[in-house]
Structure formats: structure tokens, C-alpha cells
Amino acid sequence: MKITILGIGNILYGDEGFGVRVVEELKNMGLPEDVELIEGGTDGAKLLPVITQADYLIIIDAISADDEAGAIFRIPIEELRQRQGLPIIKTSLHQMSIMDVLSMANVLDRQVRGVIIGIQPKEIPLHPSLPHEVGGWSRGNLSPEIEARVPEVIDLIMKEVHSYA
């Protein structure tokens, strides 16, 4: 059984890169052999094979849910098939969101099993090339509020891994 942990986001946009930053942290941990770590970035449709080949998929992403910064969400992918889902932050109108890719997998009749573990970002800069510093954190880094939640999210991921394995 293959468990895939997929970090989504653009690290140039601060908190939007949360999923990738968490996967970077997980690379330093001793994970079971059947766990695959993928830094998905903003690859969109290119992630379809990764998603459809996983026996169990754990997606880590920033989620815009109009909640307080740092709020953590655990959403079973199966539940998303029954409702429209939550809006996943896009950094471009031309980019496919992870929700679009999961919808493509359903169209291909691939029943993806797993969860999305997301966090409400504090702030996303308008453009990565603009000078940006907010409250002591700079463009490309997670805000302190979001950085502080990384250990809790890693604990949630490890519970998912151990419960599925």
C-alpha cells in the first residue's frame, strides 16, 4: 500500500506555500517505507498521475475558508465528492487548483481515497516580485502564526499515516 503525502502551494507567496513547507519538514523525519513525499508546488494537471496512483492520498494545502489565520481543517476527499468542497487558494486565474485535479480524477473514474489537511493562511502577497514585509515576516516565508502550526499539522499527518498503514 502506497501512502502519498502531497504538499501544494507556491512558496514565493508566503503562507500559500504551506503544503510544500510541511513536506520539506517531513523529509527530515523517519517515515515508513510505503510513504512517498511529493512537493507538488503549483503543478496542477501534472499531478493527476500522482493523485490517481496513490492508495491513500494526504494533501497539504492552504485553504481560504474565511476563518481565522491558522485554523486547521481535515477534509476527507470522499466527502468532497458529496459536496462542492472548499475553495482552494489559487495564485493565478490560469492555474488549476487541486480541486480541479481531483475532479479530473473523478471524471476518469479514479476514486481517490484520502484527506486534505489545510490551514487558513494569514496573508498572501499580491505578487511575489513586489516588496513585501508584514509584521516581521518577509515574502517567501510562512507568517509566524502559520509557522507555529506546522508541528500540529505534522502530528495530524502522522496520525493519518499510522491509521491507514
Compute the distance between CA of residue 157 and CA of residue 141 in angstroms, rounded to an integer. 21
pLDDT for position 33: 93
Domain holding 127, by residue range, is: 3-164
Q: Give Cα separations from 118 to 34, 63, 99 (angstroms).
A: 23, 6, 13
pLDDT for position 41: 85
CATH number of residue 45's parent domain: 3.40.50.1450
Secondary structure element (H or E) that encloses residue 39, with its range: strand 35-41
Task: State the pLDDT confidence band at 92, using cuts at 50, 70 and 90.
Answer: very low
Compute the distance between CA of residue 160 and CA of residue 165 in angstroms, rounded to an integer. 8
In this predicted model, what pLDDT tens digit does every residue of 97-120 receive, in sequence order?
A: 666 767 776 666 677 899 999 999
For residue 96, how many C-alpha atoms fall within 13 Å in the half-sphere facing its CB?
A: 14
Our count of domains for the chain comes to 1
In this predicted model, what pLDDT tens digit does every residue of 30-71 receive, in sequence order?
A: 899 999 999 988 777 788 888 889 999 999 999 888 889 999
